[in-house]
């Protein structure tokens, strides 16, 4: 039997791998990119959002999320829920209709597409005949009404989407019932609105773009009422009616009409595209409308106005309003609407206004967070956060459909995001919902050009209407130098290090009370006054003089300012030793934040690294050099592809030959040997980099370790630094004991320097103890959350470069083992982290492995310490450079990466640690006499205009409105 096994095949290990590793994309955190449609089901209490890429996402109670994706990459134009059912219909911009259902599978619900339908007209007819402009799901749940651009209305059967041709309403049939003098019986134009009569399901209200509104009776196939408007009806959004009274209509020319016509806007205003009338028990209705602001002063505003008695507020949103809906009483027999909340989908965020509380405050959503309120510049994940560091903020949430049946998160996790405006946001990443727990701003430490009192959105008290800005989206930074580049948080001590674009490094400590103090300032000259170097980039940020007031939370202890003020590229914090290390493109330094003293700085700048002195805004030379190098690689690859080896050489033999001969004894790359070989398309040659290449002094990684550096008998604290030129520096540190910590200085002495032969950038450095286990985090042993490292056996040093993994013995630093990833796979390492993988079968077994992300978007798991590839998964598209650059791994085999500026994709590599939505939607019982749901108007989110039919039954009111219109016309 053994002879049939592949060399190296271990059945026991293969079984164990299946118990440890499994790749799943689990949930998307954040705000959908480019939203295009909004829907709401008062029956299910679920909200739906559609995007321009064809995705639809359903949200209910926190943790209740569903996602569907159309096969077509088309924009979702409308989302409509079928009344009293777990179904919804989507309309795409290719004029196709799609029916979706929530169905049970393995104990949980899933969103699945049932049918697809495209309305077709007679042969040879123009596209406008069947171009859908309005959709109305009937309360019988059996048909859809489809209004078209030609003015015709088609009826299709559900769920088969069969067209009922005998029920089609043509515009000619409607015009037969309209007076002859109506604009010389001109065409009705497109259908803007369809609305079902709230008391008679056989009648529907039809609104045309020319201003004609008719009530059509299906039983008699005729128009029973009609209204001839003088204004063109608005497109794409609708109005609403109250349960007790009132007709509201929005028009395109500065008018909004209601029961009291004298309430019309007194100024030339923008069009009102959607309007609601909501009744209350106290008799004062809520009038809510989008647009309608004075055109001269507020033409560029994105506003929704709310009027309730003497209260009036115009909410000014930070981006274009896609759509909105009102949440009100869910009881079908309720006499009044009693609105409780307004949910607004803007282009960049979701805003919820509490209409029950005084002042109509905004409610923080438990999901759909606007992660990109300021552009994300870096991310940092902290697993298993202690309770004392955890502050949870809980707000009531009006959308509460469905039931979350996922198990409670096994631990508390934090995701920290750094932003361009100098803020750090702390997110609860424990479960499906990404909650904002805390926002930290570093701006107060510095003097910026922005005046805090200079607010372009401020409106004087005497101006009309009162305007209130809502939302957090603000893509503009006062100063790009404030941008956060690196974050390091110690979850045990509460120390936080934050580094920025202008070389600023802030060390902070958690304080439960407000405080006012002076932030100490220390400069670190990384060039060490060397001659011949001149910084051409931006200036450092100016600090505030005197004491600064800080709120409770993380407060700065000290500011370390790097000189030159280049971007901080690496950061490490050791809270037990009270040390912080920082690196830039010029070198690195060590700072004692207990004594507030600089320990040392090390310049890594090579004489040829002139580009490193030009700053991030001067990259023309670098770009030219990159293009030049790219063309050279293309030419070399073409030459190689034309030269064929004779005979059927074995690929593995070719690879072995490359490994043995592509480097000379002096490390110089032998071009001639590789030119004679044919490499597989996925392979990429390991190219030895010259020491004269630019940015070789760029410090990529910093690492603290208590290990054997000088000899095998004594271990000591150490600092390791890896550069872009493949150099590793090791420093021995002398940290005084606690009783003499403030009296004696921390001393450092360089002990080792390793130069990798291929000079590839060093991505990560790791020390393994005598049991081949990575050294624990600072204070982890002191809190009994990790075993003490084995300090008896020999330690090993793992150096991960972009092109290979290499293990050295300590303290001699002799090469022991290596894995040449690039030569094997034709890829480069972008991110790497040690992750703990537990077996899904038993709690007694777990192991530490390396989680590796490559520039091809693949995620690989490599065993420690033997560097054996365990499994490979395709994760991110190789073209998605920003997604690869933003990826962060967690300590327990999960990860996050940006799939858009506003969304994190969460994935899992572990069978044991899995966070994904698992929820059910229970369908409430519907009584037989309740098929005419009094809130069916809410299902028709996409309607342009909705009218209260009570008005149509009172001719005197209709005449009064018509006379008002005629008077205004004259």
Mean pLDDT of 932-944: 34
Mean pLDDT of 265-277: 74
Q: Where are the alpha helices (DSSP H) in 229-325?
A: 295-298
Residue 31 has pLDDT above 70, yes or no: yes
Comparing 248 with 403, the larger pLDDT belongs to 403
Per-residue pLDDT tens digits for 477-490: 778 899 999 999 99
∠ CA 598-585-544, rounded to 5°? 50
8 A C-beta contact, residue 276 and residue 240: yes
Mean pLDDT of 113-122: 91
Q: How far apart are CA 128 and CA 124, in angstroms?
A: 12
Mean pLDDT of 843-858: 94
At 964, the pLDDT band (50, 70, 90 cuts) reads very low
Mean pLDDT over each residue of the chain, to the nearest integer: 81
Residue 946 has pLDDT above 70, yes or no: no
Residue 250: closest CA among 260, 242, 258: 258
Which two tokens mark 293?
Answer: 């602001």
Q: How far apart are CA 203 and CA 210, in angstroms?
A: 21
Residue with tokens 């209204």: 227
∠ CA 216-222-227, rounded to 5°? 55
Cα–chain-centroid distance for residue 106? 29
At 786, the pLDDT band (50, 70, 90 cuts) reads confident
Residue 271 has pLDDT above 80, yes or no: no
Which two tokens mark 818?
Answer: 């290596």
Residue 280 has pLDDT above 80, yes or no: yes
Residues 6+ apart with CB under 8 A from 523: 560, 561, 562, 563
Residue 156 has pLDDT above 60, yes or no: yes
At 51, the pLDDT band (50, 70, 90 cuts) reads very high
Strand order from edge to edge, sheet including 311-317: 272-278, 286-291, 302-308, 311-317, 467-470
Residue 940 has pLDDT above 60, yes or no: no
Q: Which of 345-359, 458-472, 676-690, 789-803 has the lowest mean pLDDT?
A: 676-690
Q: Is 283 left (phi over 0), alpha (psi -120 to 50) or beta?
A: left
pLDDT in the model for residue 833: 96
Q: How far apart are CA 391 and CA 437, in angstroms?
A: 7
At 686, the pLDDT band (50, 70, 90 cuts) reads low
pLDDT in the model for residue 229: 66
pLDDT in the model for residue 823: 66
Q: Residue 648, exposed/middle/buried by CB under 10 A (0-12, 13-18, 19+)?
A: exposed
Per-residue pLDDT tens digits for 715-731: 999 999 999 999 999 99
Residue 607 has pLDDT above 90, yes or no: no
Cα–chain-centroid distance for residue 907? 14
Residue 211 has pLDDT above 80, yes or no: no
Mean pLDDT of 341-367: 94
Residue 215: closest CA among 946, 935, 930, 937: 946
At 456, the pLDDT band (50, 70, 90 cuts) reads very low
Residue 554: closest CA among 419, 472, 438, 383: 438
Comparing 691 with 99, the larger pLDDT belongs to 99
Residue 30 has pLDDT above 60, yes or no: yes
Q: How many helices (H) and strands (E) does the chain have?
A: 11, 61
Mean pLDDT of 451-461: 44
Mean pLDDT of 805-817: 92
Per-residue pLDDT tens digits for 289-313: 988 787 767 777 889 999 998 899 9
Looking at the chain, the whole-number percentage of residues with pLDDT higher than 70 is 77
Q: How far apart are CA 483 and CA 473, in angstroms?
A: 16
Residue 619 has pLDDT above 50, yes or no: no
Mean pLDDT of 923-930: 58
Which two tokens mark 488?
Answer: 């390091």
pLDDT in the model for residue 465: 67
Mean pLDDT of 557-570: 95
Which two tokens mark 522?
Answer: 């220390």
Comparing 171 with 956, the larger pLDDT belongs to 171
Mean pLDDT of 610-637: 51
Which two tokens mark 305?
Answer: 């106005």
Residue 957 has pLDDT above 60, yes or no: no
Mean pLDDT of 97-119: 93
pLDDT in the model for residue 910: 95
Q: How far apart are CA 953 and CA 247, in angstroms?
A: 12
Residue 188 has pLDDT above 50, yes or no: yes
Q: Which of 192-206, 344-358, 726-740 has the lowest mean pLDDT?
A: 192-206
Cα–chain-centroid distance for residue 863? 31
Q: Residue 433 gets which letter from DSSP? A: S
Mean pLDDT of 680-687: 45
Residue 445, helix vs strand vs coil: helix
At 9, the pLDDT band (50, 70, 90 cuts) reads low
Mean pLDDT of 757-763: 92
Q: Which of 66-80, 186-200, 801-815 has the lowest mean pLDDT?
A: 186-200
8 A C-beta contact, residue 733 and residue 608: no
Looking at the chain, the whole-number percentage of residues with pLDDT higher than 90 is 53
Comparing 163 with 694, the larger pLDDT belongs to 163
pLDDT in the model for residue 761: 94
Q: Which of 23-27, 85-89, 363-367, 635-639 has the lowest mean pLDDT?
A: 635-639
pLDDT in the model for residue 399: 85
pLDDT in the model for residue 455: 45
């Amino acid at each position: 039997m053994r002879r049939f096994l592949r060399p190296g095949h271990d059945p026991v290990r293969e079984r164990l791998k299946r118990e440890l590793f499994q790749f799943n994309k689990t949930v998307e955190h954040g705000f959908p990119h480019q939203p295009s449609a909004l829907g709401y089901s008062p029956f299910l209490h679920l909200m739906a959002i559609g995007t321009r890429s064809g995705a639809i996402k359903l949200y209910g109670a926190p943790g209740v999320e569903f996602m569907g994706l159309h096969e077509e990459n088309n924009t979702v134009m409308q989302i409509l829920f079928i009344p009293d059912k777990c179904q919804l219909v989507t309309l795409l911009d290719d004029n196709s209709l799609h029916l979706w259902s929530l169905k049970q599978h393995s104990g949980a619900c899933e969103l699945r597409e049932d049918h697809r339908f495209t309305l077709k007209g007679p042969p040879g007819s123009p596209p406008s005949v069947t171009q859908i402009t309005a959709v109305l799901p009937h309360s019988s749940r059996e048909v859809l009404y489809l209004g078209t651009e030609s003015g015709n209305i088609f009826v299709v059967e559900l769920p088969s989407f069969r067209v009922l041709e005998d029920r089609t309403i043509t515009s000619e049939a409607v015009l037969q019932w309209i007076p002859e003098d109506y604009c010389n019986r001109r065409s009705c134009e497109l259908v803007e609105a369809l609305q079902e009569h709230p008391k008679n399901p056989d009648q529907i209200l039809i609104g045309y773009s020319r201003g004609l509104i008719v009530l059509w009776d299906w039983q008699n196939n005729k128009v029973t009422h009609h209204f001839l408007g003088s204004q063109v009806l608005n497109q794409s959004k609708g109005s609403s009616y109250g349960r007790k009274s009132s007709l509201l209509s929005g028009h395109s020319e500065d008018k909004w009409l209601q029961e009291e016509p004298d309430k019309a806007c007194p100024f030339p205003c923008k069009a009102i595209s959607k309007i609601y009338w909501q009744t209350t028990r106290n008799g004062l209705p809520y009038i809510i409308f989008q647009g309608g602001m004075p055109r001269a002063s507020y033409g560029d505003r994105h506003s929704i106005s709310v009027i309730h008695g003497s209260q009036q507020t115009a909410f000014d949103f930070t981006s274009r309003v896609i759509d909105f809906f009102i949440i009100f009483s869910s009881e079908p027999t309720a006499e009044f609407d009693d609105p409780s909340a307004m949910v607004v989908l803007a282009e960049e965020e979701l805003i919820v206004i509490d209409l029950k509380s005084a002042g109509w405050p905004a409610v923080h959503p438990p999901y759909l967070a606007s992660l990109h309120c300021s552009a994300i510049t870096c991310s940092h994940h902290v697993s298993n956060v202690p309770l004392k560091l955890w502050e949870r903020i809980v707000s009531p949430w009006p959308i509460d459909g469905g039931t979350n049946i996922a198990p409670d998160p096994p631990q508390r996790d934090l995701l920290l995001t750094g932003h361009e405006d100098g803020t750090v946001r702390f997110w609860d990443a424990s479960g499906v919902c990404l909650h904002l727990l805390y926002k930290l701003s570093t701006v107060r430490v510095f003097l910026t050009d922005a005046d805090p009192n200079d607010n372009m959105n401020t409106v004087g008290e005497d101006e009309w209407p009162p305007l209130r800005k809502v939302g957090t989206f603000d893509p503009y930074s006062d100063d790009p130098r404030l941008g956060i580049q690196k974050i390091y948080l110690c979850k045990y001590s509460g120390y936080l290090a934050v580094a920025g674009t202008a070389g600023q490094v802030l060390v902070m400590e958690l304080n439960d009370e407000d405080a006012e103090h002076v932030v100490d300032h220390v400069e670190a000259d990384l060039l060490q006054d060397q001659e011949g170097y001149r910084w051409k980039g931006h200036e450092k940020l100016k600090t505030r003089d005197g004491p600064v007031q800080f709120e409770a939370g993380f407060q700065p202890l000290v500011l370390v300012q790097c000189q030159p003020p280049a971007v901080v590229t690496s950061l490490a914090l050791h809270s037990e030793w009270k040390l912080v290390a920082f690196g830039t493109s010029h070198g690195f330094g060590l700072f004692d934040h207990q004594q507030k003293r600089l320990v040392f700085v090390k310049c890594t700048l090579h004489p040829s690294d002139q580009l490193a002195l030009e700053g991030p805004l001067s990259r023309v030379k670098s770009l030219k050099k990159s293009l030049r190098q790219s063309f050279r690689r293309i030419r070399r690859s073409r030459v190689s592809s034309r030269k064929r080896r004779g005979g059927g050489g074995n690929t593995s033999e070719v690879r072995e030959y490359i490994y043995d001969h592509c480097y000379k004894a002096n490390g110089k790359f032998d071009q001639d040997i590789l030119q004679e070989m044919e490499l597989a398309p996925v392979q990429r040659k390991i190219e030895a980099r010259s020491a004269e290449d630019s940015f070789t002094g760029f410090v990529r990684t910093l690492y603290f370790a208590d290990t054997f550096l000088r000899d095998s008998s004594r271990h000591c604290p150490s600092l390791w630094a890896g550069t872009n030129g493949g150099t590793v520096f090791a420093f021995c540190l002398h940290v005084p004991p606690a009783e003499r910590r403030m009296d004696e200085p921390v001393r450092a002495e360089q002990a080792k320097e390793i130069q990798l032969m291929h000079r590839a950038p060093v991505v990560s450095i790791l020390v393994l103890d005598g049991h081949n286990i990575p050294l624990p985090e600072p204070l982890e042993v002191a809190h009994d959350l990790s075993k003490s490292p084995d300090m008896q056996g020999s330690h090993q040093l793992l150096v991960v470069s972009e092109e290979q993994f290499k293990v050295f013995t300590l303290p001699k630093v002799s090469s022991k083992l290596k894995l040449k990833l690039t030569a094997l796979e034709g890829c480069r390492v972008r991110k790497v982290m040690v992750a703990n993988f537990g077996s899904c079968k038993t709690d007694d077994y777990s192991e530490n492995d390396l989680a590796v992300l490559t520039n091809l978007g693949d995620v690989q798991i490599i065993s420690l310490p033997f560097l054996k590839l365990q499994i490979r998964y395709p994760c991110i598209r190789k073209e998605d450079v920003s997604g690869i650059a933003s990826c962060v791994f967690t300590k327990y085999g999960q990860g996050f990466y940006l799939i858009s500026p506003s969304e994190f994709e969460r994935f899992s590599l572990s069978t044991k640690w899995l966070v994904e939505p698992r929820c059910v939607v229970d369908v409430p019982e519907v009584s037989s006499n309740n098929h005419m749901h009094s809130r069916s108007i809410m299902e028709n989110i996409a309607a342009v205009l909705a009218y209260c039919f009570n008005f149509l039954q009172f001719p005197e009111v209709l005449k009064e409105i018509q006379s008002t219109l005629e008077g205004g016309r004259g």
